[in-house]
Amino acid sequence: MIPFQERKKIRKILYSKASLVILAVLLFMVADGAWQVYQKARIARDERDRAARSLQDLQARNAELTASLARVQSNEGIEEDVRQKFAVARPGEDVVIVVDDSSKKSENSEASTTVGFWARLVSFLGF
């Protein structure tokens, strides 16, 4: 056993201001290191979640492209693609092309807004 006087000396050294300051600095350094590790772990977790979402999106896109490829490789898909691009029909069928009326309206509205001075004068005078 340590004699009483030596224990008193050890306590005096441990409880001195210098040793308490050193312990506080060490505690701060350990806490700072732990905080840095926590921040890196949080960033890594966020990156992992983002990569998982990206993987799910890419897998869904892959499934869509695989289905589209299967459709295009079939005879019906080829026929549908040709009909859309070239407006063709089988023998005995007719091709109907539908024209949108909104394009005609926009052309008429442009023509009415670009009427010149002389045309407005003639229409005003009633000639």
> How much is the pTM?
0.47
Residue-wise pLDDT for 14-66, tens only, equals: 888 999 999 999 999 999 999 999 999 999 999 999 999 999 999 999 999 99
Task: Give alpha helix (H) positions in the chain.
Answer: 4-14, 17-73, 75-86, 101-113, 117-125
